Structure 1
Amino acid sequence: MAQGSPAARGRGRPRCDACRSGRPEPTARGAGLPRVQGRECQGAASTLYTTIEAVGPDFDRRTIYRTWARGGRSHFLDAFDCPDPSTTAPRRAVTITPLQALALLNNDLTLRLSDRLGERLQSEAGENVERQVERAYQLAFGRAPTGVERERARQVVVSHGLPVLARAIFNSNEFIYID
């Protein structure tokens, strides 16, 4: 069994870090990523932090390298049971909620990753929609699409484009759950 194959991963559901790190920068260690913006509070000796979703290759690193401010939370990671950074969490809660599906469908990170997958499919498979669909299934699931999947995916690509197919794949049970 190949090391990177879906079967080698074992059963289970990936944690929020795996969702966040869909295109991880392989650089290990180093400074944390500033994902919060501080603002001085008038008349108080404190700073109010708000979360920012930075874009670019420097920010594609694993969530573990994220700089946390106790008051700055990521709504995307919160949907996937990421622990509150201001407390210790010996064990993460594991939930399955409709909010997670909506986060995967509509979050800026998902939209960017969908665009990137669409670009990759186009560069690797050319303009041929059949080859694009075949490559998408191979990358996402490690298998070829069935006849019905191939036809439906082809219709999506022709009608709406590769990024929409990528978003549908990212929200499929087969992609989200590891069997």
Structure 2
Amino acid sequence: MRKKILYILLVLTVICSSAFAYNNNNKSIVVITFQGPVDIDNVTLSNLFEIELINLEGIKVKSGKGLYNSSYDRGKVSDSKEYYRSLYSSTYENEAIKIAKYLRSDYVLIGQINKLGNKKRLVIRVIDTNRNHIAGAQCTFENPEDIAGWIATMSKRIVDGINNSSKRY
């Protein structure tokens, strides 16, 4: 009898551990095109984050690009220009969260680029789909290439922070 109970407890432990590991590794994030005055910088920097996150283990990266060709808000978003215009509006954060929910993603990475003289400032935020601000960071740069190392470091910190809820980044 004792062996049976131990065996059952062992099986339950393995099942629970597997389910917990599956949930931790099954977290997903959507990277939304950043807001800012120069479209090429917005696309470039959001793509650099997406590529860095894709190359890291522990998170699944989903793409929100091309949603205007899908059933996402088909009644509201009729073409690509209207879709991208919605991302540059005052409702940017709400639109980003709606896209993440539509894609069944746990998190969304949004960013904003502001020009300050000759320099630009990139501010990024990670938000869960329940509208909880998870983390944020910022850096100053002149060219997108200047911050490639920062993007790699922040991407790693984002994944680590998401997979370890007690750790803030």
Say whether the fold is shared (TM-score over 0.5).
Answer: no
What TM-score comes out, normalization by structure 1 length?
0.25
TM-score normalized with structure 2 length: 0.26
> Which structure's residues are more often strand, by fraction?
2
